[in-house]
Amino acid sequence: MLCNEEMRKGILSRLRGYRYEHTLGCERAARKLAERFGGDPEKAGVAALLHDITKHLSPQEQLNLCEKYGIIPCTVEKSEPKMLHGKTAAAIAREEYGMPEEICDAIACHTTGRRGMTLLDKILYLADYIEDTRDFSGVEKARKLARQDIDRALLYCYDQTLTDLVERGKLIHSDTVAAYNDMIAHGVRWRD
């Protein structure tokens, strides 16, 4: 068993306020997506439980954890250290909870996506985007696509995220671009 009830309670006790509700929502959504698309609900659920475990930390604390775990931030991450919370959470999942690599990898790429997303990576990314507490514009469309086709849903999320980042004049991470290009190169489209 990856995570018994005691471990689950321990993980949840580290989360506060909205992030606690978001994580429970993400766990539910991830398990449901795994059932729908032939993934492993237990792996998906535990990846969701741990995915934002370091999100509350300050930029300096993110950088300190990177130093501790040998994560080398790229230029975009140096300028936006909160983006590192996936990679630092993956390190905690590995070192403190002994999680297998495929779960750590999914946690590490949950903010940007990456080239060659595995089914588990896709499930976590999408669950994070569509879970029940989310209410931003476009989430209903993402939920609708997620009932039909995981790749189209994922591309829609990338599209929305990129559009939002461009509108806000933010730096784009190379993994965000790589994730988008990978879907486009494979002929995925979300528009009907």
Binding site for ligand DGI (CB under 6 A): 22, 52, 55, 80, 83, 110-112, 128, 161, 165, 170-173, 176
Answer yes or no: are the C-beta atoms of 153 and 117 closer than 8 Å. no
| Of positions 40, 52, 159, 175, contacts Fe ion by CB under 5 A | 52
Alpha helices in the chain (DSSP H): 5-12, 17-37, 41-50, 59-69, 75-79, 85-95, 101-108, 119-130, 139-146, 150-167, 174-185
Of 49 and 188, the one with the shorter C-beta distance to Fe ion is 49
Of 52 and 105, the one with the shorter C-beta distance to ligand DGI is 52
Nearest by Cα to 85 from 101, 69, 102: 69
How many residues bind Fe ion (CB under 5 A)? The answer is: 2
Of 106 and 145, the one with the shorter C-beta distance to Fe ion is 106
Cα separation of the two ends of the chain: 41
CA distance 171 to 68: 26
From the list Fe ion, ligand DGI, none, partner contacted by residue 14 (C-beta under 5 to 8 A by kind): none
Residue 37 identity = F
Of 136 and 189, the one with the shorter C-beta distance to Fe ion is 136
| Of positions 40, 128, 151, 175, contacts Fe ion by CB under 5 A | 128
The contact set with Fe ion (CB under 5 A) reads 52, 128
